[in-house]
């Protein structure tokens, strides 16, 4: 399979490896992007890929909580100029309230839900006509709890977290829930517990770790039994990086997350976090082009 310069660029952005390493990996894997990424990790020239998608789209992540119900939603637009406008935050709130009121199954169903200004689709079209940019709801997560909800929005909507807590919403419990939303925003764990990690993910991680060890000149010739012990140790680090309940507090590394929960007499049901624009490619434009677009939109 042939590959292009754009494929090399994408692999480099995904792994952090050098251009020549990316070219060689793509050549050795016949242009297969996923296999090339794994090969780079095995060769020790790529960073572990947790959430490697490029964050490039504009828009915001917003959260709206109404007592026991909450929604985390990502809404995209074309420019950072529009995303930072207070009117865009108002649009996100209207959409979030429509989600809570109607509980749609997906974005397509959401577009038919009602707002005070017609359906969500009609409402967005009216805002597009005023703002002059495409506006789209990308994704959302809704929670309804018998416990309590907490949320955190980072940097005006660049990242959002919503967490569903089990237990009484005491002051201590609410403080722990808030600290955990910050923890999630900082560490971005893919799973709550290590038991939730799929077997195929663990198997793939083991393969990569074994290859890393065998490709390390300092570890050449190690017996399989020793390699297996080393893999077990490295998997422990994988769990800490990827499983929330395996972590220590980002505020105090002498305190474990599980101990924080136990002290406040609460537990975590589930959580969601969105990184704005994750996985969406945005063409680059210089500042003058973006300003010109905004001026043209205003003059229409």
Q: Are residues 43 and 145 in the same domain?
A: no
Structural domain of 87: 58-191+269-299
Q: Are residues 150 and 285 in the same domain?
A: yes
**35 within a domain of the structure (yes/no):** yes
Closest C-alpha among 145, 154, 147 to residue 183: 154
Task: Return the CATH number at 26.
Answer: 1.10.8.10
**103 within a domain of the structure (yes/no):** yes
Lateral strand order in the sheet of 159-166: 148-154, 159-166, 267-275
Dihedral angle computed from the Cα positions of residues 57, 59, 64 and 70, in that order, rounded to the nearest 10 degrees: -20
Q: Are residues 42 and 92 in the same domain?
A: no
Q: Are residues 6 and 126 in the same domain?
A: no
Q: Are residues 292 and 144 in the same domain?
A: yes
**278 within a domain of the structure (yes/no):** yes
Q: Are residues 7 and 91 in the same domain?
A: no
Q: Are residues 144 and 95 in the same domain?
A: yes
Task: Return the CATH number at 147.
Answer: 3.30.479.20
pLDDT reported for residue 50: 39
Report the chain's mean pLDDT, rounded to a whole number. Answer: 88
Q: Are residues 154 and 5 in the same domain?
A: no
**197 within a domain of the structure (yes/no):** no
**233 within a domain of the structure (yes/no):** no
Q: CA angle, 151 as apex, 270 and 178 as ends, to 5°?
A: 90
Q: Which residues contact 122 (CB under 8 A, 6 or more apart)?
A: none
Q: Are residues 28 and 149 in the same domain?
A: no
Q: Are residues 41 and 73 in the same domain?
A: no
**259 within a domain of the structure (yes/no):** no
Q: Are residues 32 and 135 in the same domain?
A: no
Residues 85-113 have pLDDT tens digits of 999 999 999 999 999 999 999 999 999 99
Tokens at residue 128, please? 């597009």
Dihedral angle computed from the Cα positions of residues 7, 12, 15 and 18, in that order, rounded to the nearest 10 degrees: 130
The parts of the chain modelled with pLDDT lower than 70 are 1, 45-57, 281-300
Q: Are residues 156 and 175 in the same domain?
A: yes
**224 within a domain of the structure (yes/no):** no
Ranges of beta strands (E only) in 82-225 are: 114-115, 118-119, 136-144, 148-154, 159-166
The tally of domains found in the chain comes to 2
pLDDT reported for residue 1: 67
What is the DSSP secondary-structure string of 40-70?
HHHTT-S---SS-S-B--EEEEEEEEETTEE
Where a domain ends, among 49, 71, 87? 49
Where a domain ends, among 49, 66, 87? 49
**Gap between the terminal Cα atoms of the chain:** 47
**10 within a domain of the structure (yes/no):** yes
Closest C-alpha among 134, 141, 157 to residue 86: 157
pLDDT reported for residue 134: 86
Closest C-alpha among 188, 176, 146 to residue 164: 146
């Amino acid at each position: 399979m042939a590959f292009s310069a754009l494929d090399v660029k994408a692999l480099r952005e995904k792994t952090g490896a050098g251009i020549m390493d990316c070219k060689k990996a793509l050549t050795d894997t016949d242009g297969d992007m996923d296999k090339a990424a794994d090969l780079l990790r095995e060769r020790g020239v790529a960073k572990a890929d947790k959430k490697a998608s490029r964050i490039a789209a504009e828009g915001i992540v917003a959260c709206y909580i109404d007592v026991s119900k909450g929604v985390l939603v990502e809404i995209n637009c074309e420019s950072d100029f529009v995303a930072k406008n207070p009117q865009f935050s108002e649009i996100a709130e209207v959409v979030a309230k429509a989600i809570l009121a109607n509980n749609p199954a997906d974005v397509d169903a959401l577009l038919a839900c009602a707002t005070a200004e017609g359906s969500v689709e009609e409402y967005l079209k009216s805002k597009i006509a005023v703002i002059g940019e495409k506006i789209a709801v990308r994704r959302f997560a809704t929670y309804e709890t018998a416990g309590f909800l907490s949320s955190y929005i980072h940097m005006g909507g660049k990242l959002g977290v919503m967490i569903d807590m089990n237990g009484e919403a005491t002051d201590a419990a609410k403080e722990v829930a808030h600290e955990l939303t910050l923890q999630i925003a900082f560490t971005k764990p893919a799973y709550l517990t290590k038991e939730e990690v799929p077997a195929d993910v663990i198997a793939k991680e083991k393969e990569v770790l074994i290859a890393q060890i065998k490709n390390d000149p300092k570890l050449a010739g190690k017996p399989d039994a020793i390699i297996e012990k080393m893999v077990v140790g490295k998997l422990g680090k994988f769990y800490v990086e990827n499983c929330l309940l395996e972590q220590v507090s980002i505020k105090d590394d002498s305190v474990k997350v599980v101990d924080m929960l136990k002290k406040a007499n609460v537990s975590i049901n589930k959580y969601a976090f969105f990184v704005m624009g994750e996985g969406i490619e945005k063409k680059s434009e210089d500042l003058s082009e973006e300003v010109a677009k905004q001026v043209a939109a205003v003059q229409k």
